[in-house]
Structure 1
C-alpha cells in the first residue's frame, strides 16, 4: 500500500442488520454496482456530531423507508469493524478522503411488513431491489472486500437473531 493510502483515515459509518420475525435479514442490491450481483445490509456515514443511534435510524429510513416505530435497536457490537477498499477504489469514493470504513454495527428487530419498505424514501435511492435472506448467506452476497466484516457481524449477533 502506498504512503498516500496509509495517510488516509477511515470513514465513520454505521451498519444495520435488520431482522424480521422469521429470523431473516434485509439485504438490498445497490443501484450503482453494475459489476456483480452483490447485496448488502443498510449502512452509511455518520454526520459530524451525530449520535450513532440517530445515524442508524436515519440511514435505515433513507435506504429502506422503515421508520423508527417499525424497528427497535436490540444490540450494538462491542467494537467497530474496519475494512479497506481495494486499491482500484481508493481515491474514487467519498471524495477520495478515506482508505475504507470504520463501522459501528447494530442489530434491529423489524416489526413491520414488506408494505413498510420503500426503497425510494430517499432521493437518490441506494437499492433497486431487496430480499430477506438467511444470516449465514450474508458473506456470500456481499462484495469480496467486505466478507470478513459480514462474517463478524453474523457471529456477533447470532444468539439474538
Structure 2
C-alpha cells in the first residue's frame, strides 16, 4: 500500500478526512439536480426520498468536516478542483463512476445506486491523478478508511480518559 494512502498518522488521517469532504461534496449536485426536477405535488414520495438522501450527504460532509476540525485540520471547500464542470468523476472513489446533472429518472437512479453501493471489503487502494487515492469500489470505501481510523482514535482516546481519575464537580 503506498505511503500516502495509509492512515497511520495524524497527518494521514487529516488527508483522508479532506478526501472524505471532497467526495461527499461531489455527491451533492446530482442529488440536488434530481430533487429540483421533481414536482412535490405529483411525486411526493420521490421528492421525500431524494431530499432525505441529499440531507444525509450534507450530514456526511458536515461530520467529516467536524472530525477534521477535531483533529486540528482546516476543511477546504473553496478549492477549484472541488467545482469541476459536469459530467465529472467521483473523487477518491470509483473513477469509472461519472456524475452528471440530470433530472430524476432512470439515469439518475442508476448513478445513485452506484454511489451508494458499498465497495467490497477487499478493495485495494491506488494513487490517482488528482494526487489522492481511490478504491476499486464506490463511495463507502473512500470514506471507510477515515471513518475506521476515527473510530479507533476515539476508542483509544476514550480508553485513555477512562483510566484517568475522575474529578468532582
Give the TM-score taking structure 2 as reference length: 0.24
**Structure with the largest fraction of helix:** 2
Give the TM-score taking structure 1 as reference length: 0.25
Choose between structure 1 and 2 for higher RCO, CA contacts under 8 A separated by at least 6 residues: 1
